[in-house]
Homo-oligomer: A and B are copies of this chain.
């Protein structure tokens, strides 16, 4: 096998997993942190910032974009990327729910 059985799980479970998975790589976390620092994004600078080749960075950006974590808009011959608040909000709301549930539970 090797393929995730997404069809067995709910849309929400798949959605949360997809977002979390996209954040499950230190390079992509580093990209998010860089975007937080510079706010308005300077796309090519990410390549200079990270110890990874340009195609690799481009691929990571694509995954973050596919997961809805960042969005990019064309500006001349470069592309401006920035964090998509909506998606982070979805994740945040979800984890807050977990925290709330777990904090009032007694555990083994």
Residues of A within 8 A of B (CB): 4-6, 8-10, 13-14, 16-18, 20-30, 32-33, 36, 39-41, 50-52, 71, 73, 75, 80-83, 85, 88-89, 91-92, 95-96, 98-99, 101-103, 105-108
Is B83 a contact of A102 with CB atoms below 8 Å? Answer: yes
Q: How far is the CA of A91 from the CA of B6 in the complex (A)?
A: 24
Given contacts A73-B108, A98-B88, A102-B83, contact A9 B26 (CB under 8 A): yes
Is B13 a contact of A17 with CB atoms below 8 Å? Answer: no
A97, closest chain B residue (CB): B36
Is B95 a contact of A95 with CB atoms below 8 Å? Answer: yes
Residues of B within 8 A of A17 (CB): 23-26, 28-29
Given contacts A17-B24, A17-B29, A20-B23, contact A95 B91 (CB under 8 A): yes
Is B107 a contact of A99 with CB atoms below 8 Å? Answer: no
Is B96 a contact of A92 with CB atoms below 8 Å? Answer: yes
- The smallest C-beta distance from A46 to any residue of chain B, in angstroms, reads 14
Is A5 a contact of B95 with CB atoms below 8 Å? Answer: no
